Amino acid sequence: MDEEAFPGADDLFRKAFGLSDPTPELLSLIKAHPTEAAVRDLLIAYILEAEENPSRAYALASVLVALRDSPDAPDIEDLERVDDYSLAVAFRVKLADLHSRYLIFDDDNKTVSPTNTYLTNCLLSALSLKYDLAWCPAQYHEIKDGLIVQGNSWTNELLVTGACIQLLTIGSKIVSDTAFYSGKEVLTKLRLQQSAGIVKDENVQKLLEVFQFFLHYN
């Protein structure tokens, strides 16, 4: 585990994210400690807060957007770039790295539920793409894997579910990306997944139907 950016950083960032309006306190902390390590600790606190309170994911992501876009956002002193030291770039670099590390399965939580941290991180990944906070190949690969998996297993069900969560969050944006599948291809693959019976959870089955309806009429 990485050493804290400054004494008490983990606790201070977590407490700030727990406030009704976290932005002022987080901005104050990052201005006092404008380092890459502090940005990392802030983003880890963001992920952990979302994992504990998935219903707050959108609100928490909007806090990152507010921090990124704030005219008072500091440059990050030790960011390993020579042309841009902005907080926006720091978020992009560190959050992409964290997505690649946190998009993993938990052997102790194999069910489709709000407490499944893999699914929460799929939502956070989608929000990063939606709000242009970060991008990394792992985020796209996770969606693509969910569209092509074969066979019945708890990991495959979570892959399909995670792909649906991401696609519903950013669908119109990602299917217009020439590096991704077309809307028609995604629709075909989702229908194959549904007919294969990989997804057992009734709510996810409804999710599949909703997204197929969305793709069909867009």
Cβ contacts of residue 98 below 8 Å, gap of 6+? 40, 43, 44, 47
DSSP classification of residue 20: S
pTM of the model: 0.90
pLDDT computed for residue 1 by the predictor: 57
Q: Please give the share of the chain, as a percent, with pLDDT higher than 70.
A: 89
CA 28, 60, 162 angle in degrees (round to 5)?
Answer: 145
The answer to whether 190 and 211 are in contact (CB under 8 A) is: yes
Joined together, the tokens standing for residue 155 give 């990991």
pLDDT computed for residue 139 by the predictor: 87
